[in-house]
Amino acid sequence: MDVKNFRTLLLDKKQELEQQMAQIEKDSHQRNTPEVQDGVDLATASEERSSAWGQATREWSVYTQVRNALARIDQGSFGDCLDCGRAIEPGRLEAVPWAAYCLKDQEKREQAERLAGGPNI
């Protein structure tokens, strides 16, 4: 496995996410509240804040996963499933270099998440 290539991919993704999160923060601070607000203005502003919050939350989650993958590279355990210890499928790592679980264990986690009705981190 070409860990050097994965490190480059992960560092690029980390930088991309940092830029996106900085832009979200900048946008949220630059929004001007109109002097006169009616119900539609308030609803629109609330919807925009909710959307930005959701996007930031998703990006922070991936950012954390990317940082964890970089740490696994440093520790020499990159590419090993955190649940079962087997090698993560090469195609899976090519598609999602920050993957921490083999496909079988990822599917188990997603099923448990659906049954629980929320994220299973």
Is position 34 within any domain? no
Q: What pLDDT, on the 0 to 100 scale, is given for residue 57? A: 86
DSSP per-residue letters across the chain: --HHHHHHHHHHHHHHHHHHHHHHHHHHHHPPPPSS--HHHHHHHHHHHHHHHHHHHHHHHHHHHHHHHHHHHHHT-TTB-TTT-SBPPHHHHHH-TT--S-HHHHHHHHHHHHHHTS---
From the list 119, 75, 79, 120, the residue with the least C-alpha distance to 97 is 79
| Cα–Cα distance measured from residue 27 to residue 51, given in angstroms and rounded to the nearest whole number | 12
Residue 91 has pLDDT above 90, yes or no: yes
Q: How confident is the model at residue 1 (pLDDT cuts 50, 70, 90)?
A: confident
Is position 107 within any domain? yes
The average pLDDT across 22-31 equals 75
Q: In terms of residue numbers, what domain contains 8? A: 3-27+42-116
Q: What pLDDT, on the 0 to 100 scale, is given for residue 50? A: 67
Q: What pLDDT, on the 0 to 100 scale, is given for residue 71? A: 98
Can you give the CATH number for the domain in which 92 is found?
A: 1.20.120.910
Is position 55 within any domain? yes
Total-model pTM: 0.77
**Residue range 41-88, pLDDT digits in tens:** 666 666 666 666 777 889 999 999 999 999 999 999 999 999 999 999
Q: What pLDDT, on the 0 to 100 scale, is given for residue 12? A: 98
Q: How many Cβ atoms are within 10 Å of 67's Cβ, its own excluded? A: 14
